[in-house]
Amino acid sequence: MTPLARTELPMEQRRICLVAGARPNFMKIAPIVRAMRDGFDRLQPFLVHTGQHYDREMSQVFFEELAIPDPDYNIESGSGSHAEQTARIMVGFEELCRAVRLHHVLVVGDVNSTLACSVTAKKDGIPISHVEAGLRSFDMSMPEEVNRIVTDALSDWLFCTERSAVDNLVREGKSPQTMFLVGHVMIDTLLCHCDRLARTDPATLESASFKKQFSRYGVVTLHRPSNVDDPLILGDFARTFAEIARDLPLVFPLHPRTKKNVERFGIDFGPSVVLTPPLGYMDFLNLWKDAAIVLTDSGGLQEETTALGVPCLTLRENTERPITVTEGTNTIVGTNHTVILEETKKILRGHGKVGKRPDLWDGRAAERIVGTLARLVA
């Protein structure tokens, strides 16, 4: 763990602890750090990296590309079961809470770090804000759903990306005065880096060689335990992707969990599915933004494809981000081989959804969040 040093702030300033631990968190925390440092001197960000994702490809490269400052504190929790990882984060975060005065804790998303730091902060009497609050898949077999529900129940302030999230929180008994519909910080990062990508020499990106080779292609991501931990399910996906790739080359950056299971089960995707290591943010954006189709079980990628109008098929039976289906370019297809193939062919024939970017997904969500915090944090 990062050594602790107690520093005092001027009387009028408030130390806001920003928690990030896994790859999806980094894209969400980056614009909040930037907004807090650019225009709100009263709020002093204190960045905590829980170490839930710790490989360079899943962590450090994102800090570099997204211009996130080095963490003030790193718990270095590492991997393990949900209980082991959550427990290590709680112990490390409790040590921090007792050594350094935190006026407020802000957590993002729905990973174990989000849950662990929320529980610890609440027991230590520190107010909590949850960014991306209120999203629900209504599937309690998903660990992320448990994390979302518990975090929202404990949070004092709830920042929502879409109207359905507000409705969910109202049904669960949260006061409307605690909720703020602000848009989506992940889209802040996306739009910022689309502009940056337009000014970047594409030859500097690894994905450029694939795009040069294929004028039309698709992108696959898969990482959820329910999809990659069972050899029969993962094998069915391999068969489906191989069939799609007969007509449309696919590139598949492998999450570490997926890579391990592909090797463990001896899964073969065929010659037209290109398997790669995880890609950095800019490299992956350069790849999927121009794809004919994205097939994924990622919640964040459902939203990003909606923001840029890229056709997306979600390889799950549900989504906690319904606006991507009702307004965006996303279609839920589950894991059925036939359904996935039919919906893919529909998109490739030009009959996919024509979506729109949701309201408030305009690149200014972080400004709204930080401006609201500046009013709320005593």
Residues labelled catalytic: 223
CA dihedral 319, 264, 62, 356 (to 10 degrees): -30
Helix or strand (DSSP H, E) at 186 = helix 185-198
Q: What is the DSSP string of 282-318?
A: HHHHHHHTT-SEEEE--HHHHHHHHHHT--EEE-SS-
CB atoms within 10 A of CB 351: 10
Question: 36, 121 in Cβ contact below 8 A?
Answer: no
Query: From the centroid of its chain, how far is CA 283?
Result: 16
Q: How many CB atoms lie within 10 A of CB 274?
A: 17
Among 225, 232, 285, 289, CA closest to 255: 225
In angstroms, rounded to a whole number, what is the distance separating the alpha carbons of residues 16 and 357?
31
Give the separation between CA 112 and CA 84, rounded to whole angstroms: 10
Amino acid at 276: T
| Burial label, 141 (beta-carbon count in 10 A; 0-12, 13-18, 19+) | exposed
**DSSP at 2:** P
- Taking 3-state DSSP, the helix, strand and coil percentages for the chain, each rounded to the nearest 5, stand at 45, 15, 40
CA–CA separation, 20 and 311 (whole Å): 29
Whole-angstrom distance, CA of residue 205 vs CA of residue 283: 6
